[in-house]
Every structure is written in C-alpha cells, then in structure tokens.
Structure 1
Amino acid sequence: MQDSKARAHFRFLESDPYSILIAFSGLRQALVTTGYNERVNECQAAAEKLLQATGRGEQPALLGNVTRDDYVAHQNLLRGALARRARHYFSESERVELGATAWREGDLRKFGQLMTESGRSSIENYECGSPPLIDLYAILVETEGVLGARFSGAGFRGCCVAFVEEEEGEEVAAKVGREYGGRYPRLCKDAPVFLCNSDDGARIL
C-alpha cells in the first residue's frame, strides 16, 4: 500500500491466504454519459459551503481542503445531495486510514469489512453504480468466502473487486458468475470473473 502524500509505502504483514477477485459487469460506458461530472460538481459545492462557513472561502472548493473538525462543526449547513456527498467523502477518508492500519497489521478481515462499507457508502451516499453493478456487488457481499467487496474505479460501470479466502476462490468465482448470469443473461456473455494474486510490486527481474 502506498501513501502518496507521505511518499511512503507499507508492506502487508502475514495473514491468512487470500485471492483477489475481479468481476466485470459487462457494462462499458464513458464517464461523461454517467453522473460522474455531476458528483464532482456536488462535491465542489459542498466544499464551498463548508469553507465559507470556516472563513476560508478563498481556498479552492475541494473537500480535501476541509478538515474533519470543520466538517463535523458545519455539516448541518449541507442538505440533500450535498450532505450525502460530503458524508461519503469524510467517511471514506476515515475508512482509508483504518484500512491502512488493518493492512499494516495483516488484518485482512477488518480490511475486507472496510471494503464492503465503502461499497455501501458508494451506493447510499455517493449514489453511483447502475442496477447491474449494484446487484453484482450484492452477490459478492452475500457469498460465503468473500471477505470484502466494492466497486472498482469511478463506480458507474465496469467492475467490482473483492478479497476472497484463497481456498474458496474457485467456488466463489463460479457462484458469482452463475448468479450474475442468471439475472443478466445478455450481459454475462461479456462479463468474466477473474481470480488473481498480489505480488511485491514493480521490480527488476
């Protein structure tokens, strides 16, 4: 795991064996045709309100420029979609911090739990995804052997990624493929499920 701000990286300590599962929804669509740009604008609008409330309205309207304490103090100023977008941003930031700790400690189950919470917040607070992608996420979360799952990328189309118990990987992949295919037979023709493993990263061989 890499911390780009601190320019540091953390190694994953020993844990139970696991595999990484990538499940494609079969949906391909450019982000400009989704609600992605709208979400960006809503996050900027939320940041602008919060920064103005703290007397720092001259700063760029980015939620990253709002401290957690300032968000807690002034979140009551946000309504509707703006409140949900900010809630997702700050809860996701907290999950990243907790996830980094879980990763350093080799606590894969905690890391997986945080992944699943991230996916749920993406649906409920950031309101991204599409019916097939949300169903794919739900299938993963409800499948035994899956430690955690979430959307991959911007979360409107494309894939879900999950951590699975290594010994259950093949069975999980087959079950997810069957269930998703049963719900979306047209999409499943172009919706493979991949199992892979992590490595130590880029290096000279």
Structure 2
Amino acid sequence: MKKKLIQQTTEHFEIMFQQKPDYIFLSPGRINIIGEHVDYNDGFVMPAAINKYICFAISKNENSKCTLVAKDLNDTYQFDINDELKPIDTMWANYILGVLQQLKEKGFAMSGFTIVFSSTIPMGAGLSSSAALECGIGYAMNKLFHLGLTKEDIALIGQKAEHTFAGVNCGIMDQFASVFGKKNSVIKLDCNTLEYEYYKADFKKYSLLLLDSNVKHTHLTSGYNVRRQEVELGLSIIKQHFPEVRTFRNCTESMVLELKDTLGETVFKRCHFVVNEIQRVKEAAEALNNSDFKRLGKLMSKTHEGLSKEYEVSCEEIDFLVDAVQHEKTVLGARMMGGGFGGCSINLVKKGSESKLIEKITERYQKAFGIELKAYKVKISKGASLYKN
C-alpha cells in the first residue's frame, strides 16, 4: 500500500510538471488507544501514528509561485507565497494555507514550490487526515527551506492552522501523534504540558482492527460543546466541597460518588466517566509495560461503556459494532474512538481472525442498518518523515 501510494503520487507529479520531484514525504494518520474526551479535562491520552499516510511529492521553484495538486480530489490551487494568505472556500487547501501563513507570521522566508499529494487515510473515519495534511506540510517546509523547527513547533503550528484557517478548535493530540509517532510505540501525552512518554506496543499475537460505521451524526459539535460545559460545572462544584482539588487529575471517584446528589444525575455521570477514564489511561500504560493485552482489552471495553452510558457520546450504530464483538473469543476489547456520534470502533483482536470477523460483522451491520461497513487493519508506525529510496 505504501509503495503503491508513493509510486502513484510520484508518477502524477511527473505527468503534471514534466520532472521528477525533489523530495517525497509521508505523514501518517492516527488512532487513540485509550483516553477519550479527557484531553480538555486535564487527563492523558494514548495516541499512535498508523500506517495510513498522506504522501507529498515536492519540488522548489525559482520564483514565488506555488501550485498545490490534490490528486485524489482532482483539484488544483495556485497562489503566490509573497501574498497574504487567507482562508478560501476550498477546505483542503485551507489546511495547507493555514500552516504556510503561520510560518510567514513567524518571519520564515520561503520561495515558491509545487506539490502533489495523495492519501490512504480514509476521510471522515476519525483518523485525523487533516492533522496529517497540516503536519506533513509543516514537516516538508521545514526540510525544504531549512527552517530549524522542532517536532513540537510543527505540531503546534498544525494545531493553530486548524484553529485559524479551518475554524476547528481542536486539541493537540492529533498533530502531536502525526509528528511524534514511533513504530510499535504509543505515546502517553499530557495535553496541558506536552510532556510525553513512549510505551512499547508490539502487539505480537494481536492486531488492531478499525470498523468504520460510515455514519457521522450532526450533533458532534453541539454535543461536544455541551459536554464541556457540563464537566466544567461539575468540577466547580467538586472544588467547592473539596478545596484541595485543582483538576480532575487529583479528584477521586469517591469524591464524585459523595457528591452524586449535589451534582445531579447528568453532571454526575459526566464527572464519573472523566475521573475513571483518567485512571484507565494509567492502568493501560501499566498493561502495555507488562504486555498484558487481555487487561488492555478489558480497559478499552470499559471505556466504551463509559462513553456510551455516562458521557453519552456514542450512537446506535457504534454501540452495535462494539456489542457485536463482545462475545467473540478472538476479540480482547473494543470501543468507540474519537469525538463520537459515528466514526470508527477500535478493536484489539487475535492475529489471523480479522477476515472472518469482518465478514461476520459486515453482514450483521448491513442487516441491522442497511449500511456498508468498512474495515481497516492498522499497524503502529512512525511519524512524519522524509522518504528515501
């Protein structure tokens, strides 16, 4: 898949510009093993880069003219690097323009360039194709024009580009995973301080399987904003009763249980999920350290239960996909991944069992919802990189 992607992107560049590209870059999508909806609640997340990529074929120009070619969309956008860059109606171009404008504002000098890019990251499946695009461009510009940026700089520039040019107020996890990814390792990331540790995730006899529900319910944004308000209210109530609590990180389950009536049913459920999810990430890190994949699987399933019943960000289709594998002997654990209300479930399964499982669940899902299921086997890979033949 990777070789084919590189070959097709390179060939398209040669056809478009009658020359070979100077450089080839790869920028990966990401998964999150555990730690959902805690990035804005002072928790930790556990993302990893995966072997689904955006490939960039790039050459420098002698002038200030830039040409962007989105091969998969059969679309092209041209501009002058010396002009002030502003968001446009073409959303894919905004992710790139946002990064370039950030670099310009920081005083970096760049000349024109030509880019062709193509992707194997499924769109809309919650695997962060936008972060891969932003970070791939940041990484490529850094190499192309010797800007001296650190990996952290590239991730933060990508995040700010999404805020300013795409209008999405995202956290740092996606960009961080795309840049800092390491083969067979997950990152335990503190989204507040950006401190991180790698944990070995060589699954050996097991593999990660994503089942894409092919649905995206519209209340993702509104639901997300409401959840943020509910947990903020909950935390303020907890602080009134327990002044030693600064964040959810030093709040205990027993404190939340003690305030069940005071918090009210909904806010209690939200806070109970957050406190337990922060704890589950710590336990997942231990499980990975000990290669205890059965425990990791159980923690993933517990997370889904919390996301569905307490945080209430799942949906009927995703609940169906998670429930459908719970009694399969080859599945160690499964959960909804990402913001919720659609997208993918992530499943930890025995190697070699994937095809049968996909076939079985696809048929059941089609019968229940009349929707075609998509499935992706993924491996944990390294972050953005320069491809060398």
Q: 2:312 aligns with which of 117, 121, 127?
A: 127
2:298 matched residue in structure 1: 113
Check if 1:192 corresponds to 2:357.
no
In the TM superposition, residue 32 of structure 1 has moved relative to its aligned partner by: 2.1
1:97 matched residue in structure 2: 282
Alignment of 1:17-166 (within 5 A): 17-30=205-218, 31-33=220-222, 35-55=223-243, 63-64=248-249, 66-68=250-252, 71-72=255-256, 74-76=258-260, 77-166=262-351
Q: TM-score, normalised by structure 2?
A: 0.46
What is the alpha-carbon distance in structure 2 between the residues aligned to residue 56 and residue 109 of structure 1? Answer: 36
Q: Name stretches of at least 5 consecutive residues in structure 2 with no aligned partner.
A: 1-185
SS at match of 2:295: helix
SS at match of 2:348: strand
Paired AA for residue 216 in structure 2: R
What is the alpha-carbon distance in structure 2 between the residues aligned to residue 36 and residue 142 of structure 1? Answer: 31
For each residue in 1:48-78, what CA deviation from the matched residue of structure 2 results, as whole angstroms up to 9, or x when unmatched? 1011222379x6xx634x5327835853432
1:7 matched residue in structure 2: 196
Paired AA for residue 289 in structure 2: R
Paired AA for residue 8 in structure 1: E
Q: Name stretches of at least 5 consecutive residues in structure 1 with no aligned partner.
A: none
> Which structure has the highest helix share of the two?
1
Give the conservation status (yes or no) of the 8 Å contact 1:146–1:172. Answer: no
Give the conservation status (yes or no) of the 8 Å contact 2:280–2:299. Answer: yes
What is the alpha-carbon distance in structure 1 between the residues aligned to residue 361 and residue 257 of structure 2? Answer: 43
Give the conservation status (yes or no) of the 8 Å contact 2:304–2:336. Answer: yes
SS at match of 1:24: strand
Higher relative contact order (CA 8 A, sep 6+): 1
Q: 2:365 aligns with which of 170, 175, 180?
A: 180
SS at match of 1:26: strand
What is the alpha-carbon distance in structure 2 between the residues aligned to residue 115 and residue 82 of structure 1? Answer: 23
What is the alpha-carbon distance in structure 2 between the residues aligned to residue 83 and residue 48 of structure 1? Answer: 12
Coordinate RMSD, CA, aligned? 2.3
Give the conservation status (yes or no) of the 8 Å contact 1:15–1:107. Answer: no
CA spacing shift, 1:165–1:84, aligned 2, 3 Å: same
What is the alpha-carbon distance in structure 1 between the residues aligned to residue 256 and residue 217 of structure 2? Answer: 36
CA spacing shift, 1:182–1:17, aligned 2, 3 Å: same
Give the conservation status (yes or no) of the 8 Å contact 1:114–1:148. Answer: yes
CA spacing shift, 1:133–1:184, aligned 2, 3 Å: same
Aligned residues between the structures: 195
Q: TM-score, normalised by structure 1?
A: 0.84
SS at match of 1:147: strand
SS at match of 1:136: helix
For each residue in 1:112-142, what CA deviation from the matched residue of structure 2 results, as whole angstroms up to 9, or x when unmatched? 0110111011111111211112111111223
CA spacing shift, 1:114–1:90, aligned 2, 3 Å: same
SS at match of 2:342: coil
What is the alpha-carbon distance in structure 1 between the residues aligned to residue 214 and residue 267 of structure 2? Answer: 30
Give the conservation status (yes or no) of the 8 Å contact 2:308–2:315. Answer: no
What is the alpha-carbon distance in structure 2 between the residues aligned to residue 70 and residue 18 of structure 1? Answer: 35
In the TM superposition, residue 165 of structure 1 has moved relative to its aligned partner by: 0.2
Bigger Cα Rg? 2
SS at match of 1:143: coil
What is the alpha-carbon distance in structure 2 between the residues aligned to residue 130 and residue 10 of structure 1? Answer: 31
CA spacing shift, 1:69–1:113, aligned 2, 3 Å: closer
Give the conservation status (yes or no) of the 8 Å contact 1:68–1:90. Answer: yes
Paired AA for residue 376 in structure 2: F
